[in-house]
A and B are shown apart, each in its own frame.
Chain A
């Protein structure tokens, strides 16, 4: 293996590996904390370069330095060998560097072509030349090597296709290094495949891709070169071929991680059903029957957009059910609002921390107790000491690491924020716990803690429903897997039937040909 930061480590086949971007001894601090210290890195032209590390290791900071979003405190960025000062993304773009944001920045009401050329439309006297726009789009698509409908309105596209729009936009501005921050975090199954395909195409056509990912398999299959970061330091850069999942984890953690999943307790036999869903219909849900028993962990697998989160929301009453029933502990839940469901013991850890879960400015304590305030109140008056104590207990139990529980929750890491949401759910003393994508954007260390939590809750007799796009996760955790496709139960897998293959087959069954992205768009 090569030494640190040498560029020779690129894809073996590349002749005369030429360095595109070099970072030399880059430091960056935020408010006195080193996010990057003394990082040396070379990105070879035409390579696919992955950055891995735990949350807080400095991956995003590093990619933002290269993208011109932040300036390093010390050290140098060299582009094509000459020192460059990137004040802004515009400066970076002028040198061929574009970044695809984690939160995509598209105008949803405009079409694909309009978004791609937004701000650089061909125009004459203030009017957009539509035909020229189309021609340029076609040329661009041909050059890029992947297809998208020019007239599709962006709001109707799935996330993977929106990412393609962003990539096309970058290419339209002559970007030759494309930075992607966790591009597949919000994708599932075929979309991930499709994005991988796009990355391959980009690389084949001589473009350079720098991506940040939590998915080690993805890193290993996609990248030519991998850089591991830990606590702002570069651990090593080397060819992906020389790494394995465990070598990456070891590098990221500085130690080896035990088994990823906790030991599965035996599936309870003969325990009563706690959650019974039958014939449930709601927007995106087309007749679902589902039962979860006390102490059982059921995994809901399927593609993003298959209707898994919609099922959760319909059970909770956050989305209005048009038909079917939900019963909790044998009693029917006339689910009109989450308030009612929560009172009956159904708690949800939502899919998106930022949008559906957290109140960033409020304290950790207040975020944890929001759903169970009544338990700490006399009438409407909150007994703050009781609240603080209860929050402290449960936050310790779910291993949230915060200096004090009075700090705003936004000061915590992604993994700890997720645990705060678990704390919120657990404080409601649920009998049904629904966890939607519980480990998305969570670092390796916290991931295990969250798995432990779910297993522990099941051990206490809670009916646990885990929704996840990560098949390994579903298989590793659940006693039983229910695969959802187009808002229906496509398969129910038990015991030895629970295999990667079986889940994928069921999830994709009707969509054998993934060549046409539009073909499998599910109505939402």
Chain B
């Protein structure tokens, strides 16, 4: 991942800028393209929201919207954290496996040793998994795509082995349900936790030195290094946060349904997460993107799914629709970069 240095932007013609009054117009022009790019995901999101509100009666109800948020909490948390990894110039394909491993182990430990220890073990596993990913991609210089593909296989293998592929039911530990299902001001804890993660990681990325360094590492690794950024630290940090987020997602979902299984999550979750991030407009090339984009991207996909349900459309077309949305999103990104040139 360290090889991804520069983005496609700023080609040679950009250097050819007049210094005179003309510069102003060019700069505003650049800004216009940027804000247009920023708006890219927001507009379809709003359109879809309005369309669903009009066409489907039950859509615009508090219970439906809260339900969507509750169902999406794990995906949102993981996607938001994965955004850090993508901006740092990496990719994490192991989130689905980490999610399943943490969920299974957390549930097993909860069954035998109580809920508190279950949660702690699950979180710790996620953090360790993230650390491993981070260390392998930095110190061992393995491309993160390959490294996390490998660790994904390993993690899900361990999860399957530990649980023998069985569904672990937490009926003897109803307290586990409290993590996600407790209501606070009419809203479930799962949603509050998601909100907290979004805010914390959003601030981390936009307002802290490490957030800046994450952009720098992914935007131009060589330049970041020469500017004194400890790239390895930053990348490991992003992967570790992501591991922890995957574990939290696994624990929340376990709490929502009071059971865990090693086959849940997996690649489907990983791809859902990546789809959300990319649809939101964070570049897979690293160095650019934002947390709010991912939130909107994930919710957009959730709305599509919800719309299929509410409007009674054939769910077979849902996947095709998602695929098309992803292509359009990536295509738009590539096209706007081209325009940038």
Interface residues of A (CB under 8 A from B): 30-35, 54-61, 64, 102-103, 181, 231-232, 316, 318, 337-339, 341-343, 348, 350, 354-362, 366, 370-371, 373-374, 377, 380-382, 384, 401-404, 407-417, 424, 428, 441, 443, 445
Once the chains bind, are A359 and B223 in contact (CB under 8 Å)?
yes
Min CB–CB distance A91 → chain B (angstroms): 19
Once the chains bind, are B212 and A370 in contact (CB under 8 Å)?
yes
Once the chains bind, are B30 and A407 in contact (CB under 8 Å)?
yes
Closest to A337 in B: B230
Q: Is B17 an interface residue (CB 8 A)?
A: yes
> Top 6 A-B pairs ranked by shortest CB distance?
A31-B29, A360-B10, A410-B10, A56-B18, A414-B15, A342-B228
Min CB–CB distance B162 → chain A (angstroms): 36
Once the chains bind, are A318 and B30 in contact (CB under 8 Å)?
no
Min CB–CB distance B265 → chain A (angstroms): 31
Contacts of A58 in B (CB 8 A): 16
Interface residues of B (CB under 8 A from A): 5-7, 9-10, 12-20, 22-32, 34, 207-210, 212-213, 215-216, 219-220, 222-230, 287-288
Q: When chains A and B are docked, how far (Å) is the Cα of A309 from the Cα of B207?
A: 34
19 contacts between A and B (CB under 8 A): A33-B22, A33-B26, A55-B17, A56-B18, A58-B16, A354-B6, A355-B6, A359-B223, A361-B7, A366-B212, A366-B215, A370-B216, A402-B23, A403-B28, A411-B14, A413-B15, A413-B16, A416-B17, A428-B228
Contacts of B215 in A (CB 8 A): 359, 362, 366
Contacts of A370 in B (CB 8 A): 212, 216, 224, 227, 229
Q: When chains A and B are docked, how far (Å) is the Cα of A34 from the Cα of B15?
A: 15
Q: Could you say which of A33, A59, A318, A407 contacts B225, with CB atoms under 8 Å apart? A: A318
Min CB–CB distance A454 → chain B (angstroms): 19
Q: Could you say which of A34, A56, A341, A371 contacts B19, with CB atoms under 8 Å apart? A: A56
Once the chains bind, are A382 and B16 in contact (CB under 8 Å)?
no
Q: Beyond the given A231-B22, A318-B226, A371-B228, could you list 8 further A-B residue pairs with CB under 8 A, ordered by the A residue number? A: A355-B6, A357-B220, A359-B216, A360-B10, A360-B220, A410-B10, A416-B17, A424-B227
Q: When chains A and B are docked, how far (Å) is the Cα of A355 from the Cα of B220?
A: 7
On whether A413 and B223 interact (CB within 8 A), knowing A33-B29, A377-B209, the answer reads: no
Once the chains bind, are B23 and A403 in contact (CB under 8 Å)?
yes
Q: Which of A58, A359, A371, A401 has the most CB of B within 10 A?
A: A359
Q: When chains A and B are docked, how far (Å) is the Cα of A413 from the Cα of B13?
A: 9
Once the chains bind, are B223 and A441 in contact (CB under 8 Å)?
no
Once the chains bind, are A31 and B10 in contact (CB under 8 Å)?
no
Min CB–CB distance B10 → chain A (angstroms): 4
Once the chains bind, are A59 and B34 in contact (CB under 8 Å)?
no
Once the chains bind, are A31 and B13 in contact (CB under 8 Å)?
no
Min CB–CB distance B200 → chain A (angstroms): 12
Once the chains bind, are B15 and A348 in contact (CB under 8 Å)?
no
Min CB–CB distance A413 → chain B (angstroms): 4
Once the chains bind, are B22 and A34 in contact (CB under 8 Å)?
yes
Once the chains bind, are B20 and A30 in contact (CB under 8 Å)?
no
Min CB–CB distance A11 → chain B (angstroms): 28
Closest to A377 in B: B209
On whether A381 and B228 interact (CB within 8 A), knowing A32-B25, A103-B12, A355-B5, the answer reads: no
Once the chains bind, are B34 and A408 in contact (CB under 8 Å)?
yes
Q: When chains A and B are docked, how far (Å) is the Cα of A34 from the Cα of B224?
A: 35
Contacts of B9 in A (CB 8 A): 360-361, 408, 410
Q: What's the count of A-B pairs with C-beta under 8 Å? A: 173
Closest to B17 in A: A413
Contacts of A341 in B (CB 8 A): 228
Min CB–CB distance A62 → chain B (angstroms): 10
Contacts of A443 in B (CB 8 A): 19
Q: When chains A and B are docked, how far (Å) is the Cα of A445 from the Cα of B18?
A: 12
Closest to A54 in B: B19
Contacts of B13 in A (CB 8 A): 30, 60-61, 64
Once the chains bind, are B207 and A381 in contact (CB under 8 Å)?
yes
Q: When chains A and B are docked, how far (Å) is the Cα of A209 from the Cα of B19?
A: 29
Q: Could you say which of B18, B31, B224, B226 contacts A231, with CB atoms under 8 Å apart? A: B18
Contacts of A402 in B (CB 8 A): 23, 27
Once the chains bind, are B287 and A359 in contact (CB under 8 Å)?
yes
Once the chains bind, are A55 and B22 in contact (CB under 8 Å)?
no
Contacts of A382 in B (CB 8 A): 207-209, 212
Q: Could you say which of A102, A342, A371 contacts B12, with CB atoms under 8 Å apart? A: A102
Contacts of A361 in B (CB 8 A): 7, 9, 219, 287-288
On whether A60 and B16 interact (CB within 8 A), knowing A339-B228, A362-B215, A380-B210, the answer reads: yes
Once the chains bind, are A403 and B24 in contact (CB under 8 Å)?
yes
Q: When chains A and B are docked, how far (Å) is the Cα of A91 from the Cα of B288?
A: 35
Once the chains bind, are B10 and A358 in contact (CB under 8 Å)?
yes
Contacts of B228 in A (CB 8 A): 337-339, 341-343, 371, 428
Q: When chains A and B are docked, how far (Å) is the Cα of A328 from the Cα of B21?
A: 44
Q: Which of A339, A361, A402, A415 has the most CB of B within 10 A?
A: A361
Contacts of B23 in A (CB 8 A): 401-403, 413
Q: When chains A and B are docked, how far (Å) is the Cα of A369 from the Cα of B256?
A: 45
Q: When chains A and B are docked, how far (Å) is the Cα of A388 from the Cα of B67?
A: 42
Once the chains bind, are A360 and B7 in contact (CB under 8 Å)?
yes
On whether A359 and B30 interact (CB within 8 A), knowing A33-B25, A56-B19, A370-B224, the answer reads: no
Closest to A366 in B: B212
Closest to B208 in A: A380
Contacts of A412 in B (CB 8 A): 17
Closest to A349 in B: B226
Contacts of A56 in B (CB 8 A): 16-19, 22
On whether A356 and B25 interact (CB within 8 A), knowing A361-B7, A401-B19, A411-B14, the answer reads: no
Q: Could you say which of B12, B29, B207, B219 contacts A362, with CB atoms under 8 Å apart? A: B219
Closest to B233 in A: A339
Min CB–CB distance A467 → chain B (angstroms): 14
Contacts of B19 in A (CB 8 A): 54-56, 401, 413, 415-416, 443, 445
Contacts of A343 in B (CB 8 A): 228
Min CB–CB distance B285 → chain A (angstroms): 10
Min CB–CB distance A379 → chain B (angstroms): 8
Contacts of A424 in B (CB 8 A): 227
Q: Could you say which of A373, A408, A409 contacts B209, with CB atoms under 8 Å apart? A: A373
On whether A410 and B26 interact (CB within 8 A), knowing A318-B225, A359-B215, A359-B223, the answer reads: no
Contacts of A413 in B (CB 8 A): 15-19, 23
Once the chains bind, are A358 and B27 in contact (CB under 8 Å)?
no
Q: When chains A and B are docked, how far (Å) is the Cα of A56 from the Cα of B16?
A: 4
Once the chains bind, are A339 and B230 in contact (CB under 8 Å)?
yes
Q: When chains A and B are docked, how far (Å) is the Cα of A384 from the Cα of B223?
A: 22
Once the chains bind, are B26 and A31 in contact (CB under 8 Å)?
yes
On whether A360 and B6 interact (CB within 8 A), knowing A231-B22, A350-B223, the answer reads: yes
Once the chains bind, are A403 and B6 in contact (CB under 8 Å)?
no
Q: When chains A and B are docked, how far (Å) is the Cα of A365 from the Cα of B7?
A: 19
Contacts of A318 in B (CB 8 A): 225-226
Contacts of B230 in A (CB 8 A): 337, 339
Contacts of A350 in B (CB 8 A): 223, 226
Min CB–CB distance A344 → chain B (angstroms): 11
Q: When chains A and B are docked, how far (Å) is the Cα of A424 from the Cα of B212?
A: 14
Contacts of A401 in B (CB 8 A): 19, 23
Contacts of A417 in B (CB 8 A): 15
Min CB–CB distance A149 → chain B (angstroms): 28
Q: When chains A and B are docked, how far (Å) is the Cα of A27 from the Cα of B24?
A: 20
Q: Could you say which of B16, B26, B31, B220 contacts A359, with CB atoms under 8 Å apart? A: B220
Closest to A103 in B: B12
Q: When chains A and B are docked, how far (Å) is the Cα of A342 from the Cα of B226?
A: 9
